[in-house]
Structure 1
């Protein structure tokens, strides 16, 4: 008599976030390497015989709108937002997660429609402070927009955090820890451009920009992983 086959063991739901994180991190690394090759092609390959695909295609420039770095980051951000909204709308004890999803959607909309850039340009801070360049004034105005908007968003987030269950509160704290490094780097980059404009150009500027791009991309990956973990564990 042939012995009955044992059922194939089911893979724990918690392993999916790990797999997604591994794949996303590899893609992140490849895109960041492509960005470095694009920005340094003229130095590494002056004749243009090896790095030609990376030299001309702005698609590889992670600091520009429409780049593959931006697309992949926004794809992860949008997925994380949808998952958090889905998790947060399952009950009133999880509303703080829905609030996080709404904030990520707002960030996605800002990237797509350049909201803070337009507001920063409208503020025209270079008229108030003539020493500021137009680009620096726009970035500083955009930072001011986010400072005001952030106060309103944080106030609503705190209210929902207090009303949520302990598991959802713990998840909210983890999301906050994930976002804080990106916020600090983004604010620091703008303030550095205001205080020392010459530092954000040349080789030093390329290094600073790479740090900003890498932190932004990795933050979006970690947000997606956090959202997947919440979906798997269902707090």
Structure 2
């Protein structure tokens, strides 16, 4: 039973940022994202790339988790993971997802939805080899999302692999690499006073981006 003294329904915050107007939006949602992302990097450089990745399995059962954006351009938004993970299994069954950025302080949220494709192995390999040695070791020994009897088992596996690769030359596993979400829909949300938030959605219509304001 919840503590009677912790009534979270009474918690409030007020949004006081300036508004978002249609006339201020870029015609291209990628350019609009870049503009907001640049400001997020200045405001919160250690957290600007954090994004919620929402996937669903073949029966529509959802899963969501925080991952880090590692690359984006006009082709889409990329991240890296173990293909055998829950998200990897979901995307194998249902290659469609949504990512969401929330930048606290700027009172901004961006949702991006679309099909997901695997990146070429070489793309993932380049990023893998650029990671710190500890991150490469962890990725190489872990079968992400699978049960393990203890942390000690994982630490032993890392130690053994480290000893076997003293030169630091750890090959990127075939089971590890990148995904790219190819946007079909962007939503830009700006928090406003009295919860009368500004929301604009970009959706593809015959190859062109159409912009609509949404009610909050």
Normalising by the smaller structure, the TM-score range is: under 0.3
* TM-score, normalization by structure 2: 0.26
Q: Of the two, which has the highest radius of gyration?
A: 1
Relative to its length, the structure with more helix (as a share) is 1
* TM-score, normalization by structure 1: 0.24
